A and B are shown apart, each in its own frame.
Chain A
Amino acid sequence: MIEENTHIANDVCGCKPADVNLIKSAVEEVVASTGREKDKVIQILQEVQKKLNHIPSEALRLICELTDITPGQISGVSTFYSQFRHLPAGRHIIKVCAGTACHVKGSQLISESFKRALKINDDRLTSPDNLFSLEEVACLGCCTLAPVVQIDGKTYGHVKPTQADEIINDFLRTRQKEIHLQKEAHEDESDAEVRIGLGSCCVAGGSKEILSRLLEIKEGYALNIKIKPVGCVGVCNQTPLLEIVTKENVHYRYTNVREEQVEEILIKHVKPGRIDKKIKFRITEFADTFISDDMVNSPVNIPGELREKYLSNFLSRQVRLATDGGGILSPESIDEYMLFGGFKAIRYCLSMSEPDNIVLTVMKSGLRGRGGAGFLTGRKWEIFSGTRSSEKFIVCNGDEGDPGAFMDRMLLESFPFRVIEGMLIAGFATGAHQGIFYIRAEYPLAVSRVRNALKQCYEKGILGISVLNTLYSFDIRIFEGAGAFVCGEETALIASLEGKRGTPHLRPPYPAVKGFMGKPTLVNNVETLSLVPWIINNGAEAFSAIGTDKSKGTKVFALAGKISKGGLIEVPMGITISDIVEKIGLGVAEGRTFKAVQIGGPSGGCIPAAMADTPVDYEELQKMGAMMGSGGLVVLDDTDCMVDVAKYFLTFTHKQSCGKCTFCRVGTKHMLDILTRLSEGKADKSEIDQLEKLCIDVKNGSLCGLGKSAPNPVITGLLYFRQEYEAHANGYCPAKKCRELIRYEITDNCTGCTRCFQECPVQAISFKPYEKHEIDQQLCTKCDNCRVVCRDNAVEIVNINAKDQNQ
């Protein structure tokens, strides 16, 4: 079944321990390039792991010998961050996303199915042939494609539990078909510009395949077109997205494009270069086109109006400031950004004699931190600007770790230049000369896009000793996070930058006064910084005209979960939740009812459908017990269990707690225990009260924001859905989600097609063609396979315990 044809070098695959000489040369090489300072420990470990597949203890020892890093430091750091492996892993890493959107769509079942398919049963989570290792990751940020699985770099969306084998085989077959896009000359006379989205979601949707097909066709027909990869449009549920702009500047958009449709779409809008080319190409491709029935279903045959109606619905209610230029701008070209008006704001700032006025403008605009807490950005800048120090740092916080949120990833991937400009303005306004991008390691595309953007900025003289030929100098470097959610908290982020365990400390001292290396450090979220150029260009008044009394401007949300049309949206503050869900996202799937919105990720709360007229506003959301958070918006329907959702978030925060303070470390464990017992029907009603009290204590007693907000999902759950918690105490799960409280049954609808028998991994269903099948409850693992494959809706989930008497 699974075959690996390529030769595997023994030294990296993890089949046997790497030998000492190899470790030595790898470590020496890494240290030579990174440096010997204590704060380089995370980079060194990352590089060593890249070379050796994992970090053997010999390597740790060697690093200590060769650098200033001490044994205690390296042990603490290498075990703190989840990126680092101390045991060898398989050659390929399968990452099963356990983000919120994926969770509500059954990621746990997916992970189990991969374990089964690969016969994984050891602690290393590695297949016996050492080819694959399984990892559950907090969030891959492809929430609209949930559930998502990523193997090495390749992402698979909308995965079903029955598809594990299929995906593994597909991966091995198509592995690493790298496309190298040639740098094209900017020819004005091209017949059309073809734009293809290459954000992570689009790539997961198959846009790389589309791109290679585009190149093939362009070559084959000798088309005079310019193929341009662009950033995210936000319509992640409709990927891949193709847009053709003709010479006459007419736009044609195609959604959900498939590989085999590309040719037809192109030919409709662009004339082939030479007729002989066309004939030749056509003949070789003839067979394929002839066999396929796609002509009928082709998007080309759908009237353009209808095709674009949905798109415009999705886009028209949005106000795009941070995401301005989505789907038009190429994230890889500084020239385009400049043509689009990029770096105008920084030019204007540089010409100002009083940089303090910039701080004043930002203050007046009413911009608040988009990372979650909503501190007034201008105020933060003012404090930072007032500090006197030889060195001052601007840190862009791109450690977006909320499961169910991917705004920062998208902004970094699609608009890296805008974030850089925001940082530059912040730096100039406050007198700082150094910037650091802190980007989480789970976002490789964002890292490479930003790296590329920085390179271009240096080449153009936008960064460096003389920014745009002025006396002002500014340098930016990238720091890759190593997998710790708590590092989104600014003091923990700084500890991590300094090469320490990412544990937060009490503020004050605020980082703006005493931060990185003890120097003043301004930590701003990605989205906050990307709004800054717009404010400078359009003025504080224009910005504060958008939004509510206390929350100004726009907010980017990742709309996902049980929603018809999810994606990345930027909406004006003050828009109601129901507008977002019903009008932009077009509600939940047919036949389901909209139950609640989980806003703000693990720190946020659930807002019930009945209160969906709540406007998006820092204070309003807080009043509801939720939080803006970083902006994850996961829609839940009637099949979602609130206890399960709370348990999911608690599992996450508990796992991501740094372990420093008692309340967060031990308190969340007790909360999780009670929730687990509830979901298993083992807890009684008194434990619900106990849970409620514990929530308050953990909220009051924790040291940092992570612990203080960890109880929010439970508190709001208890506030709005208490009856559901009580039902669980009676052993009944109204949403039929909690595994211990349900069982699978086959109804009379069964036609005896034997599909369920074929897919059952544990032989709980016996082979009875043309008869009603039955599930052996003793053997059933509730993997959901039978329900997924059944074509007759004959598999039903029923509650083990009858509804309690009161209901």
Chain B
Amino acid sequence: MPKIRINNIIVEATDGSTILDAASKAGIHIPVLCHKDGIEHYSSCMVCMVKNNLKNDFIPSCSAIVQEGMEIDAASDEVIHLRKKAVELLLSEHRAECEAPCRVVCPAGYNIPKMNRLLADGKVREAVELSLSGLDSREIRCATCPGYCENACRRKKIDLSVSIRNIQLFVFQNIGENDLSMLKIGRRDNIEGIRKRFSSRIGHLEESELKEWIKESKNDAPRFREVNDFRTAGTEAESCMHCDCRAAGDCRLRELAQEFSLKDPVGKVVNSHITKKINYKTGLIFENAKCIKCGLCVRVCEDRNDEPALCFINRGFVSIISEPLTDEFSNILTTQTDKVIDICPTGALGHLKD
């Protein structure tokens, strides 16, 4: 049982275990991104950097094996700087947004893109429940709202914005009295929470732009299309471009950016065109611009001839996760879709309907 020091705390580690294991045993927090317990380590993200004081070099703790007498520094400014830099570099490669503009500007913080997805998919009841969960008072604000969401809607740049308020109002009409009785009125902190979350979002939506929209929005903003039934609601919802990320609320990269209080870097690097690959059979969607190349999805699946899995292709800066060259994206991972979506630390792999 090798004894090592982490942040000057003596830790007794199991033979052959990693520094990360030893640290977590001692209750020392080291952030990770490309690592998951139980899956073979790979060390690509470098977010779990620690310093080996004896050799004066930096090593990824998720794959560095403990050795008797090691002196590990997991908390100094140097180490934090390097971790922060790793996240910053990953963000500079990450060309996507956490939140859709409509949701960012919505004073009530309704989850508009998700509602649209549910409606477009005909899942009326789920859409109602979603709206209910976003409601913080009996007052339906969309009735009087000048429509910040519609002003911010990206669809506007192409033709007309989605008639979000009308859809939302129609959905609210379907909330039963029973549902409303369950509602806890006056959860003001809810909105505060949402606001805080949005301030940490990653993406190219700038504060100034946002303020501009809010200023532009007037009370008498026109409501373009009527929404009278679930059919028209569905049709209207279909024109939504889903500017949000499916993993907005469950993204390790975003969490780390928040932990290190990092904003989206200005200088982005471009390694390939932004594409979305969709497997309509299983609902798996892959968005390359969100991928951090951690390879968790590759490692978690068994690569077999009868069920091709995801793999890395190309080398270096342009390397990317892909279906094998011998197959179509619609033929892969017939039974392991949930597994890869689950393990993906970002929104690169997701479910079409989420």
Residue A755 lies at the interface, judged by CB distance under 8 Å to chain B: no
Q: Which of B83-91, B179-187, B220-228 contacts A (4 or more CB under 8 A)?
A: B83-91
Please tell me if the beta carbons of B303 and A70 are within 8 angstroms of each other in the complex.
yes
Please tell me if the beta carbons of B305 and A701 are within 8 angstroms of each other in the complex.
no
Given A657-B317, A660-B44, A697-B82, A72–B92 Cβ distance below 8 Å? no
Given A64-B305, A75-B325, A80–B314 Cβ distance below 8 Å? yes
Given A657-B316, A657-B317, A701-B46, A508–B89 Cβ distance below 8 Å? no
Question: In the complex, which of the residues A57, A658, A663, A665 contacts B325, with contact meaning CB atoms closer than 8 Å?
Answer: A57
Residue A79 lies at the interface, judged by CB distance under 8 Å to chain B: yes
Question: In the complex, which of the residues A508, A661, A669 contacts B44, with contact meaning CB atoms closer than 8 Å?
Answer: A661
Residue A61 lies at the interface, judged by CB distance under 8 Å to chain B: yes
Question: In the complex, which of the residues A71, A668, A669 contacts B324, with contact meaning CB atoms closer than 8 Å?
Answer: A71
Please tell me if the beta carbons of A701 and B326 are within 8 angstroms of each other in the complex.
no
Please tell me if the beta carbons of B311 and A701 are within 8 angstroms of each other in the complex.
no
- The CA-CA distance from A297 to B30 in the complex, in Å, is 75
Interface residues of A in 71-118 (CB under 8 A from B): 71-76, 78-82, 86
Please tell me if the beta carbons of A61 and B326 are within 8 angstroms of each other in the complex.
yes
- Could you tell me the distance in whole angstroms from the C-beta of A498 to the nearest C-beta in chain B? 15
Question: In the complex, which of the residues B67, B86, B269, B325 contacts A79, with contact meaning CB atoms closer than 8 Å?
Answer: B325
Please tell me if the beta carbons of A661 and B317 are within 8 angstroms of each other in the complex.
no
- The CA-CA distance from A666 to B314 in the complex, in Å, is 15
Q: A76, A655, A662, A667 — which one has the most chain B CB atoms within 10 A of its CB?
A: A662
- The CA-CA distance from A678 to B46 in the complex, in Å, is 29
- The CA-CA distance from A64 to B292 in the complex, in Å, is 28
Residue B65 lies at the interface, judged by CB distance under 8 Å to chain A: yes
Given A76-B313, A79-B325, A659-B317, A670–B267 Cβ distance below 8 Å? yes
Question: In the complex, which of the residues A60, A86, A665, A703 contacts B43, with contact meaning CB atoms closer than 8 Å?
Answer: A703
Interface residues of A in 531-586 (CB under 8 A from B): none
Question: In the complex, which of the residues B67, B304, B313, B315 contacts A70, with contact meaning CB atoms closer than 8 Å?
Answer: B304
Q: Closest A residue to B81 by CB, please name it.
A: A697
Question: In the complex, which of the residues B42, B82, B305 contacts A71, with contact meaning CB atoms closer than 8 Å?
Answer: B305
Please tell me if the beta carbons of B63 and A75 are within 8 angstroms of each other in the complex.
no
Question: In the complex, which of the residues A75, A82, A661 contacts B326, with contact meaning CB atoms closer than 8 Å?
Answer: A75
- The CA-CA distance from A64 to B42 in the complex, in Å, is 25
Please tell me if the beta carbons of B312 and A64 are within 8 angstroms of each other in the complex.
no
A82: chain B residues within 8 A (beta carbon): 315
- The CA-CA distance from A574 to B85 in the complex, in Å, is 39
Residue B251 lies at the interface, judged by CB distance under 8 Å to chain A: no
- The CA-CA distance from A64 to B305 in the complex, in Å, is 7
Please tell me if the beta carbons of A701 and B82 are within 8 angstroms of each other in the complex.
yes
B317: chain A residues within 8 A (beta carbon): 654, 657, 659, 665-666, 668-669
- Could you tell me the distance in whole angstroms from the C-beta of B136 to the nearest C-beta in chain A? 40
Question: In the complex, which of the residues B82, B293, B312 contacts A700, with contact meaning CB atoms closer than 8 Å?
Answer: B82
Question: In the complex, which of the residues B81, B90, B319 contacts A662, with contact meaning CB atoms closer than 8 Å?
Answer: B90
Please tell me if the beta carbons of A656 and B89 are within 8 angstroms of each other in the complex.
no
Question: In the complex, which of the residues B65, B86, B318, B324 contacts A72, with contact meaning CB atoms closer than 8 Å?
Answer: B324
- The CA-CA distance from A666 to B89 in the complex, in Å, is 6
Interface residues of B in 79-111 (CB under 8 A from A): 81-82, 85-86, 89-90, 92-93
Contact indicator per residue, chain A 37-73, by CB within 8 Å of chain B (1) or not (0): 0000000000000000000010011001100001111
B86: chain A residues within 8 A (beta carbon): 662-663, 701
Please tell me if the beta carbons of A72 and B298 are within 8 angstroms of each other in the complex.
yes
Residue B45 lies at the interface, judged by CB distance under 8 Å to chain A: yes
Please tell me if the beta carbons of B82 and A65 are within 8 angstroms of each other in the complex.
no
B327: chain A residues within 8 A (beta carbon): 71
Residue A591 lies at the interface, judged by CB distance under 8 Å to chain B: no
Please tell me if the beta carbons of B314 and A697 are within 8 angstroms of each other in the complex.
no
Residue B256 lies at the interface, judged by CB distance under 8 Å to chain A: no
Residue A341 lies at the interface, judged by CB distance under 8 Å to chain B: no
Question: In the complex, which of the residues A71, A654, A656 contacts B308, with contact meaning CB atoms closer than 8 Å?
Answer: A71
Given A659-B315, A670-B89, A700-B58, A72–B67 Cβ distance below 8 Å? no
- The CA-CA distance from A109 to B181 in the complex, in Å, is 77
Interface of A is mostly: helix
Residue B49 lies at the interface, judged by CB distance under 8 Å to chain A: yes
Q: B60, B93, B311, B327 — which one has the most chain A CB atoms within 10 A of its CB?
A: B311
Please tell me if the beta carbons of A79 and B315 are within 8 angstroms of each other in the complex.
yes
Please tell me if the beta carbons of B46 and A663 are within 8 angstroms of each other in the complex.
yes
Q: Closest B residue to A663 by CB, please name it.
A: B46
Please tell me if the beta carbons of B63 and A506 are within 8 angstroms of each other in the complex.
yes
Please tell me if the beta carbons of B43 and A71 are within 8 angstroms of each other in the complex.
no
Contact indicator per residue, chain B 278-296, by CB within 8 Å of chain A (1) or not (0): 0000000000000011000
Residue B348 lies at the interface, judged by CB distance under 8 Å to chain A: no
Residue A303 lies at the interface, judged by CB distance under 8 Å to chain B: no
A620: chain B residues within 8 A (beta carbon): none
Please tell me if the beta carbons of A659 and B82 are within 8 angstroms of each other in the complex.
no
Q: How large is the interface on B (under 10, 10 to 19, 20 to 34, 35 or more residues)?
A: 35 or more
A160: chain B residues within 8 A (beta carbon): none
- The CA-CA distance from A516 to B60 in the complex, in Å, is 23
Interface residues of B in 318-336 (CB under 8 A from A): 318-319, 322, 324-327
Question: In the complex, which of the residues B271, B304, B326 contacts A57, with contact meaning CB atoms closer than 8 Å?
Answer: B326
Given A79-B313, A662-B44, A665-B317, A673–B269 Cβ distance below 8 Å? yes
A73: chain B residues within 8 A (beta carbon): 303, 311
Residue B120 lies at the interface, judged by CB distance under 8 Å to chain A: no
Please tell me if the beta carbons of A703 and B46 are within 8 angstroms of each other in the complex.
yes
- The CA-CA distance from A128 to B353 in the complex, in Å, is 47
Question: In the complex, which of the residues B64, B305, B316, B322 contacts A665, with contact meaning CB atoms closer than 8 Å?
Answer: B316
- Could you tell me the distance in whole angstroms from the C-beta of B295 to the nearest C-beta in chain A? 8
- The CA-CA distance from A695 to B309 in the complex, in Å, is 37
Given A79-B315, A80-B315, A666-B93, A74–B324 Cβ distance below 8 Å? yes
- The CA-CA distance from A643 to B86 in the complex, in Å, is 26
Residue A484 lies at the interface, judged by CB distance under 8 Å to chain B: yes
Given A79-B325, A654-B316, A659-B319, A505–B43 Cβ distance below 8 Å? yes
- Could you tell me the distance in whole angstroms from the C-beta of B348 to the nearest C-beta in chain A? 15
Residue B310 lies at the interface, judged by CB distance under 8 Å to chain A: yes
- Could you tell me the distance in whole angstroms from the C-beta of B320 to the nearest C-beta in chain A? 9
- The CA-CA distance from A668 to B269 in the complex, in Å, is 11
Please tell me if the beta carbons of A659 and B311 are within 8 angstroms of each other in the complex.
no
Residue B75 lies at the interface, judged by CB distance under 8 Å to chain A: no
Residue A258 lies at the interface, judged by CB distance under 8 Å to chain B: no
- The CA-CA distance from A72 to B314 in the complex, in Å, is 12
- The CA-CA distance from A57 to B311 in the complex, in Å, is 16
- Could you tell me the distance in whole angstroms from the C-beta of B171 to the nearest C-beta in chain A? 42
- The CA-CA distance from A60 to B322 in the complex, in Å, is 15
- The CA-CA distance from A520 to B93 in the complex, in Å, is 38
Residue B262 lies at the interface, judged by CB distance under 8 Å to chain A: no
Given A508-B65, A701-B58, A662–B89 Cβ distance below 8 Å? yes
Please tell me if the beta carbons of B89 and A667 are within 8 angstroms of each other in the complex.
yes
Please tell me if the beta carbons of B46 and A662 are within 8 angstroms of each other in the complex.
yes
Residue A501 lies at the interface, judged by CB distance under 8 Å to chain B: yes
Given A659-B319, A666-B89, A673-B267, A72–B46 Cβ distance below 8 Å? no
- The CA-CA distance from A147 to B67 in the complex, in Å, is 49
- The CA-CA distance from A654 to B316 in the complex, in Å, is 7
B43: chain A residues within 8 A (beta carbon): 505-506, 660-661, 703
What are 8 contact pairs spanning A and B, CB under 8 A? A70-B303, A71-B326, A79-B314, A505-B43, A660-B44, A660-B293, A666-B92, A669-B317
Residue ranges of B at the interface with A (Cβ–Cβ < 8 Å):
42-46, 49, 57-60, 63-65, 67, 81-82, 85-86, 89-90, 92-93, 267, 269, 271, 292-293, 298, 303-305, 308-319, 322, 324-327
15 A-B pairs besides A81-B315, A662-B89, A697-B82 with CB distance below 8 A are: A60-B325, A71-B305, A71-B326, A76-B312, A78-B325, A484-B315, A501-B312, A654-B317, A659-B318, A662-B44, A662-B292, A665-B293, A665-B316, A665-B319, A701-B85
- Of all A-B residue pairs in the complex, the 6 with the closest CB atoms, nearest first, are A72-B311, A71-B324, A659-B319, A72-B303, A666-B89, A75-B324
